[in-house]
Amino acid sequence: NAGVMQNPRHLVRRRGQEARLRCSPMKGHSHVYWYRQLPEEGLKFMVYLQKENIIDESGMPKERFSAEFPKEGPSILRIQQVVRGDSAAYFCASSPSRLAGGFYNEQFFGPGTRLTVL
């Protein structure tokens, strides 16, 4: 059973370009969460999605950032017109449905995408 997969692992963009980060949850998991970790900081929640629905985007900046989790394919975190302050590690996590017997809302993390904005 493959774990959470993220790609690319490293992404370099120049200011003003777009960054697309992809996340494939663990098999059988229908919930996806995106977190951002700035250098020397803790992980901060950005957005929580289920298939085709955004459940909670309270942690995501209102501008330039968007996320989706289509019926088919991976979840995408999209950052438009990147700025240097967007440089961070972006982690995706997945969990099973609580109704399916998920225990204590355990979330499994992918290896992250390290975004560097030049």
Binding site for other proteins (CB under 8 A): 31, 33, 35, 41-45, 48, 50, 55-56, 59, 89, 91, 93, 95, 97-99, 102-112, 114
Token digits of residue 55: 């459940």
Q: How far is C-alpha 116 from the chain's CA centre?
A: 16
The nearer residue to other proteins, 17 or 45, going by C-beta atoms, is: 45
Distance in angstroms (rounded) separating the CA atoms of residues 69 and 40: 29
The nearer residue to other proteins, 17 or 59, going by C-beta atoms, is: 59
The nearer residue to other proteins, 15 or 51, going by C-beta atoms, is: 51
Distance in angstroms (rounded) separating the CA atoms of residues 52 and 106: 22
